[in-house]
A and B are shown apart, each in its own frame.
Chain A
């Protein structure tokens, strides 16, 4: 069965600090997809990134970067120079093969203080 664990329930940082959100996943499939979503206080889930299991290249998009390591079943998310607008709940999610449903972790609440 697929499972996603986000061990950090809450993180609080001061603006401009770098912060890393951890995500560990479990799956028996060799083909799977990993996602990160942001849920700001307004409530709507916003898609950030999708990676497939065959592509372990790290990715950078502006202040955001993602580190995918199959050896440790981890897909961590780093925000560089955090800003107050980054305050939100961040969810890591997994889908297996041709099964389209997403399995989410419990989320990490990030608070960026001015």
Chain B
């Protein structure tokens, strides 16, 4: 049982490049979400999904795209990277989306956009 895995661990992009951050969980959780962590700002929700085929926007969705074709995977796409997207990105999953449940976090992806 690997829990929540994220790849890559580190990434450097140039402005305008696109890329996909991968997230997978093997706990059969319905609810998955993406956060970004910036110094002094805590965690901010980017997008979330309450099940396969269903996604919704969080607090800071601009510049990011998601899809949920399977229960296990929830990739985050940066369409055209900007320096403001330099951050640490965390994927999380939980059994339910009701906020009653513990969220399990991946180890994070540290992204730098030059």
Q: Do A and B come from one complex?
A: no
Interface residues of A (CB under 8 A from B): none
